[in-house]
Amino acid sequence: MTTYYNEHSKVFVSVDCIIFGFEDKKLKVLLGKRKMDPGRGEWSLYGGFVEENESLDDAANRVLLELTGLKNIYMKQVGAFGAIDRDPGERVISVAYCALINVKDYDEELREEHQVEWINIKDIPELYSDHNDMVNKAITLLRRRISSEPLSFNLLPDLFTLTQLQHVYEAVLDDNIDKRNFRKRIKTIEYIEKTDRIDKITSKRGAALYRFNKEAYMEDPIFKL
């Protein structure tokens, strides 16, 4: 093996996942208590080390799969965190990734098995290492992007009501939205399609179910809400 860079030092690289879910009209993050040293017992994001045979993105997807059993999930890099002493054990540079999942797709047993919990973003405790910074940066990015990219649908089932969709925006942006104005805007977006299905769970009258037509969006990928 040719060794070009021997005079330099190698470091551990990890990935940490900020996994967002939407439940009970609130934006939540998956957090657990660390099951290893250093930092055993502290609240923490779920993460893992990057191995030789995988890219950063692959590592993030593997970690997400390990935890949730879910594949082909929306994931985006949040940034690299590289303070010297960020990890109390050894030098570890970590790359944070943000994922958006539909809470109902996550098997409850698997969640309990990994001992992670959905924590409201307004009630996030002090976390291990710099994980609070990671979560805050992820929230900032999510807020900035949710109005210019069709991200919200990742937090909902395939079929959703307009009220649910509005609640997602209200939870992410932490602000109230006028119902009529919201629905007016949705009507102008062709690829948010009304289906003939009716949701009777959350209302007596029943609410029309909509779907995001990804193919139609892809033909003209412009999103503004």
Chain contacts with DNA (rule: CB under 7 A): 161-163, 178-181, 183-185, 200, 202-208, 224
> Is the Cβ of residue 119 or residue 162 nearer to DNA in the bound state?
162
> Is the Cβ of residue 2 or residue 72 nearer to a second copy in the bound state?
2
Residue type, 9: S
Residue 56 binds a second copy, judged by CB under 8 A:
yes
Judged by CB under 8 A, which of 45, 95, 135, 162 binds a second copy?
Answer: 95
CA distance 160 to 155: 10
> Is the Cβ of residue 132 or residue 163 nearer to DNA in the bound state?
163
Q: How many alpha carbons fall within 13 Å on the CB side of residue 174?
A: 9
> Is the Cβ of residue 80 or residue 198 nearer to a second copy in the bound state?
80
Q: Does residue 46 contact residue 128 with C-beta atoms inside 8 Å?
A: no
CA distance 58 to 80: 16
Residue type, 29: V
Residue 66 binds a second copy, judged by CB under 8 A:
no
CA distance 78 to 157: 24
- Residue 205 contact, options a second copy, DNA, none, Cβ 5-8 Å cut-off depending on partner type: DNA
Judged by CB under 8 A, which of 57, 149, 170, 199 binds a second copy?
Answer: 57
Closest by CA position to 199, among listed 164, 162, 161? 161
Residue type, 109: E
Q: Does residue 52 contact residue 81 with C-beta atoms inside 8 Å?
A: no
Q: Smallest distance, Å, CB 175 to a second copy?
A: 17
Closest by CA position to 16, among listed 166, 123, 157, 130? 130
- Residue 55 contact, options DNA, a second copy, none, Cβ 5-8 Å cut-off depending on partner type: a second copy
> Is the Cβ of residue 12 or residue 197 nearer to a second copy in the bound state?
12
- Residue ranges in contact with a second copy by CB under 8 A: 2-5, 8-13, 36-38, 49-57, 59, 77, 79-84, 89-93, 95
